[in-house]
Chains A and B, each alone.
Chain A
Amino acid sequence: MDSLTNSTYSLIVKKSCPTCELIEPVVRALADTYGTSLQVYVQDDAGYLSELPQQADDTTLAFSYQQNIEIVPTLIRHATQAQSEQRLVGWDRQEWQEFTGLDQLGSDLISFKPGCGSLTEDPGMAEQLAVRFEGERLQARRVDVADAEDIMEACFDRGWSDGLPVVPPTPIRVMRMLAGTDLAPDESIGLVPPDHVNCTVEKVAINAVMAGCKPEYFPTVIAVVRAALQEKFCMHGLLCTTYFSSPVVIVNGPVSRHIGMNSGGNALGQGNRANATIGRALQLLIRNVGGGKPGGIDRATLGNPGKYTFCFAEDESDLDWPTLAMDRGFERDDSVVSLFAGDGVQPILDQLSRTPESLAKSMAASLRSVVHVKKFGMADATLVVCPEHRRVLRENGWNKSDLKQALFDELVTPGTELMSGVGGISEGMPEKLRGKLLSKFRDDGLHIVTAGGTAGMFSAIISGWVASGERGSQLVSQHVD
């Protein structure tokens, strides 16, 4: 009996569990044996087993939550200096007899009956309990909305919206979002421009909730934010510019498939929750945490619709075609987000080219239109090759590097053709470059990805910001952890 008297026990039950009901005689026997060393916690009915002095009301689920109870009944022998904690779940007569050392325990009961789910495991309960018992982990200012106020309108009124409705960031939704990461809510992600404000994981979660993200998207959202804050991306200038551009998010690797992103038909369009909300989360974060709002620091002349959201996954079905992430030094199995400072989608229709040479010339001709047909070396571009165009290349032995080289070669142009005034157009390159051969893009200024439906010989140009390279923005990539 020495070991019994040194140990303390907790038994967690609920009245509505048939297994708990079955073992009521066992509970009484343990109460007699263990005396004050035992507490019996009841989850669902404070009156259940109330004749036992050891009965404790756990209808708040405080104890069950704290102990991470998943199944009832659970019998815990708490840790002592001599012994670590031990647990029994459900009813297995032999186990209970060995565990307690009481060889007649429950001898008249059936030998085995699995337990039931703990009330803490009910759908939606985990987050409610997290708010109830760990709400202090949320540091953000509480904003109370009067009953008479419409909560959706309240978000608009406070200036939190990009113009579309947002999901109200209630504590429970934010807790649910935070469950998508192992990072602590108060961990800093960095300084968000333009106000250069410290941004915590919690603030990212709040804005991800508002954007409509699911918790499983959250690691990707975090990676997107980290990428946007890389010095090379120049998020501050990108937000302030009078030009069109804004972050374009391209997702590579297994995560894009795990969270159901669209890399196929209409990949650049509407209709996929992950595509739509991950891109939007970044925009809302820049607006709300960074303070970057149109008419304020955001001085765009026209902007572009991608400033609501512009995010898609790459089609990685051709295992011999390197992905964008691989071009940036990652492995095919890495989950990676890349951010490109870009704007509108410019189509390249080519339904007749059946050779790579013809297709490359066709694409190059269209790429001349980036920014302006007479402006060279100014903006980067991302070329989105559709599956049918990729097929034309692949069936003729070309890979991505062949295409990129052909495009660069095709776009080398004598300065004389691009001078200001040529063609009766004042815009153009400065006189000092007249005698030079000019490249349309800087060396790292043309990125190639694949996406789109399997029908349609339509590729696309995502034109880049006019401030490219070290004087502005460069494509950045970030591993999704």
Chain B
Amino acid sequence: MSETTMLDPTSELSPVERQLLPRLEALGDATVGLLDISKPRGKEFLDEVQRQLEELGAKVKRYAKPTFARVAPKELTQKISSECDAVIEGLAD
């Protein structure tokens, strides 16, 4: 019985290089989504982010996950990607 060969217990995900989407050149014409993950005090934090973005000329749209414990529903991610040029997700409290 040879112990020199083992079977890989992992998912064998080969490290695929993810291509970054084109970066925004300027915020002037951009719509930026702010996703609140529904943790306490997320609103206050994102209010301040929104204020600063608008000073820079961006349009801001606000979104919220139903619960922080679960991943965002597909409908929500699709809505954000169709309505925004960029998204900022507020993580944790």
Residues of A within 8 A of B (CB): 124, 128, 138, 140-147, 151, 154-155, 160, 168-172, 174, 192, 195, 197, 199, 202-203, 206-207, 210, 234, 236-237, 241-242, 284, 288-291, 467, 471-473
Which 7 pairs, one residue from A and one from B, show the smallest C-beta to C-beta distance?
Answer: A467-B69, A197-B11, A237-B69, A141-B8, A471-B67, A140-B7, A472-B69
Neighbour of B7 across the interface among A174, A192, A472, CB < 8 A: A174
Cβ of B26 < 8 Å from any Cβ of A?
no
How close is B24's CB to chain A, nearest CB, in angstroms? 28
- The answer for the CA separation of A242 and B93 in the assembled complex, in Å, is 11
- The answer for the CA separation of A210 and B7 in the assembled complex, in Å, is 10
- The answer for the CA separation of A478 and B70 in the assembled complex, in Å, is 22
- Residues of chain A within 8 A (CB-CB) of B12 are 140-141
Query: In the complex, are the beta carbons of B5 and A145 less than 8 A apart?
Result: yes
Q: A160-B10, A291-B13 are in contact. Are A171 and B67 (CB under 8 A)?
A: no
Q: A144-B4, A170-B1 are in contact. Are A203 and B71 (CB under 8 A)?
A: no
Query: In the complex, are the beta carbons of A143 and B1 less than 8 A apart?
Result: no
Q: Which of B16-53 contact A (CB under 8 A)?
A: none
Task: Name the residue on B nearest A203 (C-beta).
Answer: B9
Query: In the complex, are the beta carbons of A160 and B70 less than 8 A apart?
Result: no
- The answer for the CA separation of A234 and B7 in the assembled complex, in Å, is 29
- Residues of chain B within 8 A (CB-CB) of A141 are 7-8, 12
Q: A145-B4, A172-B1 are in contact. Are A236 and B9 (CB under 8 A)?
A: no
Cβ of B82 < 8 Å from any Cβ of A?
no
What DSSP secondary structure best describes chain B's contact surface?
loop
Task: Name the residue on B nearest A159 (C-beta).
Answer: B10
How close is A189's CB to chain B, nearest CB, in angstroms? 13
How close is B77's CB to chain A, nearest CB, in angstroms? 14
Of B4, B9, B71, the most chain A CB neighbours within 10 A belong to: B9
How close is B43's CB to chain A, nearest CB, in angstroms? 15
Query: In the complex, are the beta carbons of B67 and A143 less than 8 A apart?
Result: no
Tier of interface size on chain B: 20 to 34
- The answer for the CA separation of A468 and B71 in the assembled complex, in Å, is 15
Neighbour of B5 across the interface among A170, A192, A284, A288, CB < 8 A: A170
- The answer for the CA separation of A128 and B2 in the assembled complex, in Å, is 10
Cβ of B57 < 8 Å from any Cβ of A?
no
Neighbour of A288 across the interface among B9, B70, B71, CB < 8 A: B9
- The answer for the CA separation of A237 and B67 in the assembled complex, in Å, is 10
Cβ of B75 < 8 Å from any Cβ of A?
no
Neighbour of A289 across the interface among B1, B10, B69, B70, CB < 8 A: B10
How close is A215's CB to chain B, nearest CB, in angstroms? 15
Query: In the complex, are the beta carbons of B6 and A151 less than 8 A apart?
Result: yes
Task: Name the residue on A nearest B66 (C-beta).
Answer: A471
- The answer for the CA separation of A168 and B5 in the assembled complex, in Å, is 9
- Residues of chain B within 8 A (CB-CB) of A291 are 10-11, 13
- A-B contacts besides A236-B70, A471-B70, 10 pairs, CB < 8 Å: A140-B7, A141-B7, A154-B6, A160-B10, A169-B6, A171-B5, A195-B13, A199-B11, A467-B68, A473-B69
How close is B91's CB to chain A, nearest CB, in angstroms? 10
How close is B89's CB to chain A, nearest CB, in angstroms? 14
- The answer for the CA separation of A199 and B13 in the assembled complex, in Å, is 12
Neighbour of A170 across the interface among B7, B66, B71, CB < 8 A: B7
- The answer for the CA separation of A40 and B1 in the assembled complex, in Å, is 29
- Residues of chain A within 8 A (CB-CB) of B66 are 471
- The answer for the CA separation of A391 and B29 in the assembled complex, in Å, is 72
Q: A128-B1, A145-B4 are in contact. Are A169 and B9 (CB under 8 A)?
A: yes
Query: In the complex, are the beta carbons of B1 and A142 less than 8 A apart?
Result: no
- Residues of chain B within 8 A (CB-CB) of A151 are 3-4, 6
- Residues of chain B within 8 A (CB-CB) of A471 are 66-67, 69-70
How close is A302's CB to chain B, nearest CB, in angstroms? 16
How close is B70's CB to chain A, nearest CB, in angstroms? 5
Neighbour of B70 across the interface among A171, A192, A472, CB < 8 A: A472
Task: Name the residue on B nearest A166 (C-beta).
Answer: B9
- Residues of chain B within 8 A (CB-CB) of A234 are 69-70
Query: In the complex, are the beta carbons of A145 and B11 less than 8 A apart?
Result: no
- Residues of chain B within 8 A (CB-CB) of A128 are 1
Of B10, B11, B67, the most chain A CB neighbours within 10 A belong to: B10
- Residues of chain A within 8 A (CB-CB) of B11 are 192, 195, 197, 199, 203, 288-291
How close is A238's CB to chain B, nearest CB, in angstroms? 8
- Residues of chain A within 8 A (CB-CB) of B9 are 140, 160, 169, 203, 206-207, 210, 284, 288-289
